[in-house]
Amino acid sequence: MKTNWDLENLYYKNLEDPQIEKDMEAFEGSQESFAKKYTEDKSFLTDPKALKEALDLQEEEAKKAFVKPLYYLFFVRDLDATNTKALALESKLSERYTKAGNKTLFFGVELGAASKEQQEIFLNAPELEHYKYYLKELFENAQFTLSEKEEKILSLKSDVSRGRWVSMVSTIEAKKMVPFSDGDLPLPEALEQLNKLPKEKRRELWANIVAVLKDMGEMSAHEMNAVISNHKINGELRGYKTPEEPTVRGNENRQEVIDSLADTVTKAFSLSHRFYAAKAKYLGEELRYEDKNIDIGKFSTEFSFEKSIELVKDAFGEVNPLYAETFQRFLDNGQIDVYPKKGKSGGAFCAHSVGIPTMLLLNHVDNLRSFETLAHEMGHAIHSERSKTQSPMYEGYSTAVAETASTFFEAVVREKLLQELPEEDKLLLLHNSIQNDISSISRQTTFYNFERELHAKIREDGFVGEEDIAKMLTKHLKDQLGDAVSVSDDDGYSYIYISHFRNFFYVYTYTYGQLVSRALFARYKKDKEYAKQIDTFLTSGGSMPAEEIFENIGLSFKDGEVFKEGLKALEEDIEAFEKAVK
């Protein structure tokens, strides 16, 4: 079993590997060749057969995994944020990718500008049946597409107007050391360790974390204002009506569904209040912001990585043996980087793209949270691998669909764990399960509400300072956490390390995924044959809109039905917790 990424065998030997340049040149050559052919031959704009030939060529080119060099450099920097050589090469290659990709921008721009009559011809052409959904989305979103020259300008400036701002803050964060009486800690590690500490140590460490964040406050406020203002300019140029519209459309969600989601969950914040009130009562003390995710006891069960693997693999295999086999392959091939180390990015993720190995980054510290993170990220990985049954055009999937897959597998693993635990640990698991749901449902909706207010305020005032950003987030946190949790204005500085705020409105996908997955899991738990429908969802990739994927396997979004179903299940868990801790 490998616990470090095997980038040397899966990607490149090192930064000097000549294959990096060969692959880069191959991408540039493919873009040049495609551009030359279709700037001269415009038959693809009128002839369905010619369009099919062009789209077939794009799919074949996608299989060659031209993005491999850039992913490799991302991974190198994820393992060592101080690697300036990788950063420099990444910057150079990113510019080359952008310039090469810009050569073929005309294709989508010109195709999207086809007349309504021509669009209908393409959508009804038998030879284009495979590309019907792709074309439908292209034509629908063409209203937000600018001219080829304007698209090139936006593409070229995207890195310096957003990417480098965000990279700057994340790089500085990774290097920041937090003073601590037990020994100074890198900021990402300090955040990971916080919930494991006794109260007085936790108070000390959080106060020091806040001090480090406030020291970064002025810089980060300028970063947030810059990237949000850039988002505003881009949105206005394209004609989007709201700041969140690009994200909702990009995730292939319906706006009315996401509006219903935010409204339904916000009205149900009382569930969060009840949970924290019960938790505070059980612990017999007032909770502060840094206490909200602490355990209420210590598990007698060990959660070493080896134990976690055993439980997760067995649970996945019960749904479908293929999922367990996929997990084992990842372990054998070095596709999972397991343990935290200095300079490594905090948190966890699953990265995938057409034609390249799917990679997982973890920061496993042998606790239940790390165990559940493994289940979550491996759920993404299973989804990625099953989506490879689609053609390259549809192998990718939206974030909302992705979060549904990962949280479904979390539920599967949690149910398996419940069968394995001794009685004294079952209350702890119930607590942690509710806490995870609150974090994914109520907390992420809080973040979504905060983002909407922050974007509106920056659009109205032009600039919002760090203190006002922190106070704004504090207000929303208080709304969600209730009277049982004390929240100060300083706690609002956590906006600095919450990276999702830079991926605008991404946070709603966690809420969406958690609630939809609860509905899916309820059906699976009732009838194990429903696993076939789950695999239908996992293998759908991005071949249809998000809601349609789930409607095809029996869910309904009418009047927020699915979301209310998920919240009802959460309420039942909270009621069980309240009774258990009386």
Q: Which residue do the tokens 């494991």 mark?
A: 196
209-233 pLDDT, tens digit each? 999 999 999 999 999 999 999 999 9
Residue 196's pLDDT is: 85
Pick from 296, 315, 526: nearest CA to 419: 315
Between CA 215 and CA 170 the distance in angstroms is 14
Instruction: State the average pLDDT for the chain.
Output: 94
Question: Tokens at residue 171, please?
Answer: 């790089």
The pLDDT confidence band at residue 193, using thresholds 50, 70 and 90, is confident
Mean pLDDT of 406-427: 90
Torsion of CA 533, 537, 540, 542, to 10 degrees: 160
What DSSP assignment string belongs to 362-408?
Answer: ----SSHHHHHHHHHHHHHHHHHHHHTTS-GGGS---HHHHHHHHHH
Question: Among residues of the chain, what percentage have pLDDT more than 90?
Answer: 86
Pick from 504, 516, 450, 518: nearest CA to 266: 450
Pick from 451, 90, 429, 61: nearest CA to 248: 451
114 or 421, higher pLDDT: 114
573-to-272, 274, 444, 445, 568 alpha-carbon distances in Å = 12, 11, 19, 20, 9
- Judge whether residue 369 has pLDDT over 90: no
Between CA 362 and CA 5 the distance in angstroms is 11
532-to-188, 383, 403 alpha-carbon distances in Å = 39, 14, 19
Residue 170's pLDDT is: 87
- Judge whether residue 378 has pLDDT over 90: yes
Question: Tokens at residue 95, please?
Answer: 């510019």
Between CA 49 and CA 43 the distance in angstroms is 9
Query: 7-145 in CATH: which number?
Result: 1.20.140.70
Residue 458: burial class (beta carbons within 10 Å; 0-12, 13-18, 19+): buried
The pLDDT confidence band at residue 424, using thresholds 50, 70 and 90, is confident
Amino acid residing at 404: T
Domain at 177-297+439-502: CATH architecture: Orthogonal Bundle (1.10)
Torsion of CA 318, 322, 327, 330, to 10 degrees: 180
- Judge whether residue 32 has pLDDT over 90: yes
Between CA 366 and CA 331 the distance in angstroms is 17
41-62 pLDDT, tens digit each? 999 999 999 999 999 999 999 9
Residue 191's pLDDT is: 92
Residue 174's pLDDT is: 84
232-247 pLDDT, tens digit each? 999 999 999 999 999 9
The CATH T-level fold of domain 305-428+508-560 is Neurolysin; domain 3 (1.10.1370)
Mean pLDDT of 127-135: 97
The residues, any chain, with a CB within 8 Å of residue 540's CB and separated by 6 or more, are: 387, 390, 397, 401, 549, 552
Q: Where are the domains of the chain?
A: 7-145, 177-297+439-502, 305-428+508-560
Mean pLDDT of 468-488: 97
Residue 507's pLDDT is: 95
Mean pLDDT of 523-541: 96
Residue 523's pLDDT is: 93
443-461 pLDDT, tens digit each? 999 999 999 999 999 999 9
- Judge whether residue 189 has pLDDT over 90: no
Phi, psi of 359 (to 5 degrees): -125, 140
* Contact assessment for residue 364 and residue 392, using Cβ atoms and an 8 Å cutoff: no
The residues, any chain, with a CB within 8 Å of residue 339's CB and separated by 6 or more, are: 3, 305, 362, 363, 364
Mean pLDDT of 392-398: 94
349-364 pLDDT, tens digit each? 999 999 999 999 999 9
The pLDDT confidence band at residue 151, using thresholds 50, 70 and 90, is confident
Phi, psi of 197 (to 5 degrees): -90, 150
300-311 pLDDT, tens digit each? 877 899 999 999
Note whether 177-297+439-502 and 305-428+508-560 share their fold: yes
- What pairing do the DSSP bridges indicate for beta strands 287-288 and 485-486? parallel
Residue 6's pLDDT is: 98
Question: Tokens at residue 519, please?
Answer: 């509905």
Between CA 413 and CA 401 the distance in angstroms is 19
Residue 421's pLDDT is: 86
* Contact assessment for residue 504 and residue 451, using Cβ atoms and an 8 Å cutoff: yes
End-to-end CA distance of the chain: 45
- Judge whether residue 393 has pLDDT over 90: yes
- Judge whether residue 582 has pLDDT over 90: no
Pick from 538, 548, 458: nearest CA to 251: 548
Question: Among residues of the chain, what percentage have pLDDT more than 70?
Answer: 100
- Judge whether residue 422 has pLDDT over 90: no
Residue 368's pLDDT is: 84
Mean pLDDT of 98-102: 93
The pLDDT confidence band at residue 146, using thresholds 50, 70 and 90, is confident
